[in-house]
Structure 1
Amino acid sequence: MTIHDSHLPRDPGVWPRRVFVARHGRSVWNKSKRVSGQANPPLADEGHAQATRMAEALADESLHAVYSSDLDRAIQTAAPTAERFALRVQPSAALREQHFGIAEGQQRDDPESEIGRLWQARLLDREHFRMPGGGESYVEMETRVLEWLRPTLAAHRGENVLVIGHRNSTRVLLGALLGLARTDVMALPVHARWLYVIAPGDEPVGVWSCSLRERDAGRRVAGLRT
């Protein structure tokens, strides 16, 4: 059973026309390879540039709503597009990244450190492992994202919406909209260099990837590029 079949309506008439989905732009902690989770680092200069390119890539679309996580890096990513369309960013804690407990703000690459050992343990059971210090499992994060997604989609039937998440919450969004199994969703590389364009009411579901890279910003290709 896929996330899509379990949680979302199958009648194409209740879907938005297009859902634009992206991970937030590159943050200052992404640059230094620190675990972000639900901590609140801002965008780096590169992330602001990616946000600007997203607004430019969507300039010829119609857009009816802009949603994001309530963390600064997601709101900052959504803001240029919202401003271009005279919309407000609608932030939601449901779209936050998975909570990584005591790992947040720390480097994870040293396998001899406490955080490094915990991170390796997490990789052995990514669905259910919780970091000490209030950490959240992937399944718990998935549940809150899906609980947000269904009524939000229903509120925008026939419209176009933009949703800005984080690496893992964006995985859940893509999996739900494309009808992917959790194991496939968790394996998706999700980078800030792509904006995904999804036509959820089409049969089969339509998906395109729009580049946010400086060298070819705005170029669209069919399929889910990572």
Structure 2
Amino acid sequence: MRRLYVVTHPEATHHVAGRVGGWFDSRLTARGRVHATAIAARLRELVPPAATIELYSSDLRRAAETAAPIARRFGVDAVLVPDLREKSYGVAGGRPQAWLDERFVPPPATGERLDHDEGVEGAETKLEWVTRVYRAVGRIRSGTAEHQVAVTHGGSLSWVVAAWLGLPVEACAYASFRASAGGITVLAEDDRFHNRTLHTLNDTGHLAG
């Protein structure tokens, strides 16, 4: 059974400051660093003792800081994958969330939703965002370890799951898998039929207290 453990980074400075994340390179808060250690401990419980892992991470600081205690716990190096980044919000990155909310143009209920212009200069379209995360999952799936860990962001988690399940990019016009900061999502593929499943979505039990 092949497994991919997808980690969404825990609390970062842009969360508590009420600022737009995206490609803005925020760091983990003190609470986030405690949760990153708890994530590493939980992964050590989930991965069989004799198994080795491959560890991949978004290159944004808050994700790399989440990957660091995992790397230490398992004695591996994290491979930084820019394609695992959160959506780029262009000029809105790092600005107050209210600034983006005033300008953001949501997609229509029907019609063009993937290549929709959200009204923010320099922002990725959903199609660009989904396409690069799918590319990241393709890179991860080319690895050879039966147990892999990918550290990403809450928004990009949806596209990691969709890519794993083999959903066509067009399905991402509506598909969504909600995850909170510091959650662990487990994806699995069986050895006989090679069916891929969403085993666990957004486990946060390790963050209690």
TM-score (norm 2): 0.82
- CA distance in 1 between counterparts of 2:155 and 2:9 reads 11
Query: Could you tell me which residue of structure 2 aligns to residue 132 of structure 1?
Result: 120
Q: 2: distance between equivalents of 1:46 and 1:126?
A: 36
Q: Give SS of 1:26's match.
A: coil
Amino acid at match of 1:148: A
* Pair 1:97-2:86 in alignment: yes
Unmatched tracts of structure 1, length 5 or more: 1-15, 217-226
1:122 matched to 2:123? The reply is no
Report the counterpart of residue 207 of structure 1 in structure 2.
199
SS for the counterpart of 1:122 is coil
**1:147 and 2:135 equivalent?**
yes
Structure 2: which amino acid aligns with 1:151?
R
Q: Which residue of 2 aligns with 1:74?
A: 63
Structure 1 letter corresponding to 2:59: D
Deviation per CA, 1:129-187: give whole Å up to 9, x if none. 2453321111101111112221320222x51000011122211001222355314433x
Aligned-residue RMSD, C-alpha: 2.3
- Tell me, what secondary structure is at the counterpart of 1:48? helix
2:42 to 57, 61, 75: 57
CA drift at 1:123: 4.9
Distance in 2 between residues matched to 1:54 and 1:138, nearest whole Å:
29
Match of 2:153 among 166, 185, 190: 166
Quote the sequence identity (%).
27
- Determine the structure 2 residue equivalent to 1:175: 162
Q: 1:38 to 1:30 in 2, by over 3 A?
A: same
Query: What is the CA distance between 1:56 and its match in structure 2?
Result: 0.6
1:52, CA displacement in angstroms? 0.6
Does the alignment pair 1:19 with 2:4?
yes
Q: State the distance in 1 between where 2:133 and 2:119 align.
A: 19
SS for the counterpart of 1:168 is: coil
Cα distance in structure 2, aligned partners of 1:40 and 1:93: 12
- SS of 1:54's partner is helix
- TM-score, length basis structure 1: 0.76
Conserved? CA contact 2:188–2:196, under 8 Å = no
* Per-residue Cα deviation, 1:182-223 (whole angstroms, up to 9, x for no partner): 14433x32212420111133546251243255327xxxxxxx
Q: Tell me if structure 1 keeps the 8 A contact 2:9–2:182.
A: no
Change (3 A) 1:51 1:99: same
1:54–1:212 Cα contact (<8 Å) kept: no
Kindly tell me: are residues 203 and 92 of structure 1, through their superposed partners in 2, closer, same or farther at Cα, counting changes over 3 Å?
closer
Letter of the aligned partner of 2:124 in structure 1?
E
